Amino acid sequence: MDHVISGVAKFQKEVYPNKKAAFQKLANGQNPEVLFITCSDSRIDPNLVTQTEPGELFICRNAGNIVPPHSNQTGGMTASIEFAVAALGVTHIVVCGHTDCGAMKGALKPEGLSSLPHVKEWLGHCRAATEVVKERSGCSELTHDHLEDVTKENVVQQIQHLRTHPAVAAKIANKHVTLHGWVYNIGSGEVLCYNSESGEFEVMDQSHAEAQLKR
């Protein structure tokens, strides 16, 4: 904890003065372009991975980068998505999974989560992903060997859940919002991007990123 506290002091003394004008502008409001939904995992730093500054990403984090399907029951993710899309007017939504995800490991073996009942219930939103992988692999039980497939499929399924949210559906209908699915590789720094036309994840480079934005 000591380094966290000293980090605050360093920010106030060294970082803030160099970006004072930007922070003072942000003090009066925000205008992010992207809603970035990712995992709570401590190894994921959205601003570092995307090389963005404060105010550019509206970030939502939870175990497993999950988007519960829309329902009449209000939750933190539902409210945040609605606010980002309908009030802030974001034009892009990214669902970003990652390698070695503990939540996805739990989704592989939900029966092992009896001591974590809330985690087990939350990961029920990943069931479609595990069932798809089971069907494709022809396996009735999933193992660690299926972790990568489940991680990718979970991103795809959470994008589908996003489409059930009225605010998102409305903006998609008018082509005012674009959905993106990513998987970040912690060890290599590589980012894979979901291609909805091919149904595959592709390595993101500059040319690929530009092609995604044109779609």
Domain ranges within the chain, ordered by starting residue: 31-214
Whole-angstrom Cα distance, residue 99 to residue 187? 8
Whole-angstrom Cα distance, residue 57 to residue 37? 10
Q: What is the pLDDT along the chain (215 residues), one digit of tens a residue?
A: 999 999 999 999 999 999 999 999 999 999 999 999 999 999 999 999 999 999 999 999 999 999 999 998 889 999 999 999 999 999 999 999 999 999 999 999 999 999 999 999 999 999 999 999 999 999 989 999 999 999 999 999 999 999 999 999 999 999 999 999 999 999 999 999 999 999 999 999 766 666 666 65
Architecture of domain 31-214: 3-Layer(aba) Sandwich (3.40)
Return the pLDDT at 99: 98
Return the pLDDT at 71: 92
Non-local (6+) Cβ contacts of 71 within 8 A are 78
145 is in an annotated binding site: no
pTM: 0.93
> Of 40, 35, 32, 51, nearest to 204 (Cα)?
51
Return the pLDDT at 210: 64
Return the pLDDT at 205: 77
41 is in an annotated binding site: yes
Quick check: 33 and 56 in contact, CB under 8 A? Answer: yes
Grouping H, G, I as helix, E, B as strand and the rest as coil, residue 58 is: strand
Please report which residue ranges of 138-205 form alpha helices under DSSP H: 147-162, 166-173
101 is in an annotated binding site: yes
96 is in an annotated binding site: no
Q: Which two tokens stand for residue 55?
A: 């105010």
